[in-house]
Amino acid sequence: MGPPKIRKIKSSKVEVGPWETNFYMGIIPIVLLIINPQWRYLWILTPMVLSLILKNYLPRIHQRLWIISAYVTIMFATFCLNHVPNILVLSLLIMQCLDLWLHNRALLPTRPYCELYQRPLLAFKSRLIKYLELHLGTDRVSGLPHPLFTGLINNFNTLGYCGGMQLKLMAKWRGDTDPNGSGHHDYFRGKEDEAPLGIARCKFAFSVAPIDWSTTTIRNLYKNPNYGN
């Protein structure tokens, strides 16, 4: 169906979260290299220097290349432990893990931005899912909540992805000209008053805000009044 139609115009300064530029390697490797300094350790700086020189040619975040420096630092640090007692190696390993956790714990995914935190059975076999399995058939449902919105797990037909990476024909069909997409994963979601009731065999719509459709026995699930039983 062709390449995506719209992409956000690249700005001069990319605003990203800390997970994009973080490359903290821990204090233990640094201390080990300071205790046993060698000229070859300067190789650690190579990826950093290259990233700055090639900054305009690297995709998005040039600091991502710095992670190579972190790996090289840890590799050199292990060379310093050849004749160290195992108990000391274990102690340093525990300290390194604790150090990494303390500095990176803010990057750990939290609700509601993490993956499912409940058993998959509860997410994909809920009352909503059972109802749709019984009544949806080959028609479409709009606005399903995360993680159901794609419909792939339960083989439901939806109105498809509607963001900035949507396909050309889908963007044209929806009349979507926003460079960032419509802002929703579903065309009908957020446009209940604008979209015609019979659009693309849309039999049901899930919406927290009440819409002018027939209610069902499932909370927030509405049925297109143009459809029969």
Per-residue pLDDT band at 134 (split at 50, 70, 90):
very high
Looking at the chain, the whole-number percentage of residues with pLDDT higher than 90 is 16
- Residue 143 to residue 125: CA distance in whole angstroms: 17
Q: Do both 44 and 69 map to the same domain?
A: yes
Residue 163 DSSP symbol: B
Closest listed residue to residue 143, CA positions, set 217, 226, 224: 224
Report yes or no on 114 lying in a domain.
Answer: no
What pLDDT is stored for residue 43 in this prediction? 93
Q: Do both 182 and 161 map to the same domain?
A: yes
Report yes or no on 47 lying in a domain.
Answer: yes
What pLDDT is stored for residue 187 in this prediction? 60
pLDDT digits (tens, 9 = 90+) for 65-89: 888 998 899 889 988 888 888 898 8
Per-residue pLDDT band at 182 (split at 50, 70, 90):
low
Q: What is the mean pLDDT of residues 15-36?
A: 81
What pLDDT is stored for residue 217 in this prediction? 93
Most confident stretch, 2-6, 64-68, 146-150: 64-68
Of 25-34, 132-141, 149-158, the range with the lowest mean pLDDT is 149-158
Q: Is the peptide bond before 147 cis (omega within 30 degrees of 0)?
A: yes
Q: Is the peptide bond before 18 cis (omega within 30 degrees of 0)?
A: no
pLDDT digits (tens, 9 = 90+) for 32-77: 898 888 999 999 999 999 999 988 887 778 888 888 998 899 889 9
Residue 216, pLDDT > 90, answer yes
Q: Do both 132 and 199 map to the same domain?
A: yes
Q: Do both 78 and 142 map to the same domain?
A: no
Q: Which of 58, 77, 107 is the last residue of a domain?
A: 107
Report yes or no on 5 lying in a domain.
Answer: no
Per DSSP, helices labelled H in the chain are 18-21, 27-35, 46-53, 67-79, 86-104, 120-124, 127-135, 168-174
Higher pLDDT: 23 or 118? It is 23
Q: What is the mean pLDDT of residues 124-130?
A: 86
Report yes or no on 156 lying in a domain.
Answer: yes
What pLDDT is stored for residue 133 in this prediction? 92
Q: Do both 124 and 96 map to the same domain?
A: no
Q: What is the mean pLDDT of residues 164-185?
A: 70
Q: Do both 97 and 126 map to the same domain?
A: no
Q: Do both 125 and 219 map to the same domain?
A: yes
Q: Do both 26 and 65 map to the same domain?
A: yes
Q: What is the mean pLDDT of residues 126-137?
A: 91
C-beta neighbour count of 115 within 10 angstroms: 6
What is the SS3 assignment for 44? helix
Q: Which of 47, 80, 107 is the last residue of a domain?
A: 107
Domain holding 73, by residue range, is 18-107
Give the chain's domain count. Answer: 2
What pLDDT is stored for residue 154 in this prediction? 84
What pLDDT is stored for residue 7 in this prediction? 47
Q: Do both 147 and 179 map to the same domain?
A: yes
